[in-house]
Chain A
Amino acid sequence: MYAQMVKSEGKRPGEALSPEEQAFQDRIDAGERIEPRDWMPEGYRKTLIRQIGQHAHSEIVGQLPEGNWITRAPTLERKAILLAKVQDEAGHGLYLYSAAETLGESRDEMTQKLLDGRMKYSSIFNYPTLTWADIGAIGWLVDGAAIMNQVPLQRTSYGPYARAMVRICKEESFHQRQGYHIMMKMARGTDAQREMAQDALNRFWYPSLMMFGPSDKESVHSAQNMAWKIKINTNDELRQKFVDQTVPQAEFLGLTVPDETLCWNEEKGGYDFAEPDWNEFFEVLKGNGPCNAERIGARQKAWDDGAWFRDGLSAYADKQQARRMAAE
């Protein structure tokens, strides 16, 4: 997902909870929201910073593959739409950074950690956008997968995170629909356009399935995060839901999901499908994906090139402040 394999800082299984920790867990079990100034276990705070920070970084880095096509969008209308979509993603990043900041880590610190590799972003944004159809596939599949995960997170236990999710979910539906709309246009276009759409689906299908992360049925980290309600569903549950929703949409387009084993399983009421290549996933997480270096390079450049601007505005604000003080 946008936050993948979030390591939990909770207690080891079997370790007893202190009275404070127990009271905290009781509040969560009762469906209460935790707010920034409430007491919380250190592990909850740390894990959330990691999760929300990673989610925020994904929104920001996620602008890069799509931004690649803004100047080359096929029509002025598509360009305006893509620009609005990418701007929304910047907004999502900001909502999430400010939610994470309420836990005591500043945005600049988180940015620093992203740049020096101490914090991650979603594996999906390390794949290139080679054709215009990729922009369709990203909206349809990547935003579609993100929605699967973000909708339940609106009920997460941490108030500022839940509220950021509500705001984000309101905006995501447009993202997915504009992507699908591009795919529809291409799938109904010339042979070359149809081939391009199929090729985009071929390349983005498995990376989209990877977004949910490897199976975590047995993971102690996931169990702790689910007890804290900062994770709502298992990775497999969400992946299954995503496949069940997406396959008919691909059929409607007349495109073929690149999985020969794909078939409907009457008994479970869902599709059976092939797992993505998890070795590839771990390689991408380690930094060896097709675009890892390019993405972090772009963020580093933006940070460095923006330094004079951030400093300039700070200096101006200080000067104005000094003038006001002198006038009083």
Chain B
Amino acid sequence: MSQEWPLWEIFIRGQHGMSHRHVGSLHAPDAEMAIRNARDVYTRRKEGVSIWAVRSTDIAASSPSEKGPLFDPADSKVYRHPTFYDIPDDVGHM
């Protein structure tokens, strides 16, 4: 039985000025075909102006079990947000 085409993750830039967003994945033999297939699968209604294709196996991801240690420390740092600071109305817009 033949080998299965590898899996690619597809990222599309919706409009100029926006970042690329992950939209899904597809199978293709190589990068060029991945981009061609992505055009047919993910942009049939002008959903994009640019496509990135990345081999799924090349993506490194954080593990769900590390969610606590990675993201919880930000909980206690409310001073990173502008709303933490009380500035009197008299100062005007800031």
Q: Is B7 a contact of A94 with CB atoms below 8 Å?
A: no
Verify A310–B2 contact, CB threshold 8 A.
yes
Contacts A38-B64, A164-B24, A310-B2; A101 near B7 (Cβ below 8 A)? yes
Give 26 A-B contacts (CB < 8 Å), ordered by A residue.
A37-B61, A37-B63, A37-B64, A38-B64, A87-B44, A91-B40, A91-B41, A91-B44, A94-B26, A98-B25, A98-B26, A101-B7, A107-B27, A310-B5, A310-B29, A313-B5, A313-B29, A313-B30, A313-B33, A314-B2, A314-B3, A316-B29, A317-B29, A317-B30, A317-B33, A320-B30
Contact between A88 and B44 (Cβ–Cβ < 8 Å)?
yes
> A249 at the A/B interface (Cβ < 8 Å)?
no
Q: Does A307 contact B (CB under 8 A)?
A: yes
Residues from chain B with Cβ under 8 Å of A98 in the complex: 7, 24-26
Give the complex CA separation of A107 and B37 in angstroms.
16
How many A residues touch the partner, as a band?
20 to 34
Complex-state Cα separation, A101 to B41, whole angstroms? 16
A29 at the interface (CB under 8 A from B): no
B4 at the interface (CB under 8 A from A): yes
Contact code string A92-118 (vs B, CB < 8 Å = 1, else 0): 001100100100001110000000000
CB distance from A66 to the nearest CB of B (A): 17
A94 to B4, CA, bound (A): 15
CA distance A287 to B67 in the complex (A): 47
Number of interface residues of B (CB under 8 A): 19
Chain A residues lying within 8 Å of B45, measured Cβ to Cβ, are 171
Closest to A108 in B: B4
Q: Report the Cα distance A167→B22, complex, angstroms.
A: 13
Which residues of B have CB within 8 Å of A107?
4, 27
From residue B18, how far is it (CB to closest CB) to chain A in Å? Answer: 18
Q: Check A314/B5 contact, CB under 8 A, given A35-B64, A38-B64, A91-B41.
A: yes
Q: A94 vs B42: C-alpha distance in the bound complex, in angstroms?
A: 10
A316-B25 Cα distance, complex, nearest whole Å: 21
Q: Return the chain A residue nearest B2 by Cβ.
A: A311
Hey, which chain A residues are within 8 Å of B44, CB to CB? 84, 87-88, 91
Interface string of B10-53 (1 = CB under 8 A from A): 00000000000000111101100100000011001100000000
Q: B25 — which chain A residues lie within 8 A by C-beta?
A: 98, 101
Q: How far is the CA of A37 from the CA of B63 in the complex (A)?
A: 7
Chain B, Cβ-Cβ closest to A102: B25
Which residues of B lie under 8 Å from residue A38 when comparing CB positions? 64
State A314–B29 Cα separation when bound (angstroms).
Answer: 5
Closest to A163 in B: B24
Chain B contacts for A316, CB-based, 8 A: 29-30
Q: Mark A262-273, 1 if CB is under 8 A from B, else 0.
A: 000000000000
B2 — which chain A residues lie within 8 A by C-beta?
A: 307, 310-311, 314
**Binary contact readout A180-191 vs B (1 if CB under 8 angstroms, 0 otherwise):** 000000000000
> Assuming A98-B25, A171-B45, A314-B5, what are 20 further A-B pairs, CB within 8 angstroms?
A37-B61, A37-B63, A37-B64, A87-B44, A91-B41, A94-B41, A98-B24, A107-B4, A107-B27, A164-B24, A307-B2, A311-B2, A313-B5, A313-B30, A313-B33, A314-B3, A314-B29, A316-B29, A316-B30, A321-B30
A314 to B5, CA, bound (A): 7
Residues 294 to 313 of chain A near chain B (Cβ within 8 Å): 307, 310-311, 313
Contacts of B3 in A (CB 8 A): 314
- Give the distance to chain A from B75, nearest Cβ to Cβ, in Å: 18
Cβ contacts A32-65/B at 8 Å (1 or 0 each) = 0001011100000000000000000000000000
Quote the shortest CB–CB distance from A269 to chain B (angstroms): 37
Task: Name the A residues within 8 Å of B26 (CB-CB).
Answer: 94, 98
Tell me whether B24 and A95 are in contact (CB under 8 A): yes
Q: B residues within 8 A CB of A95? A: 24, 41
CB distance from B2 to the nearest CB of A (A): 5
Q: Which residue of B lies closest to A310 (CB)?
A: B2
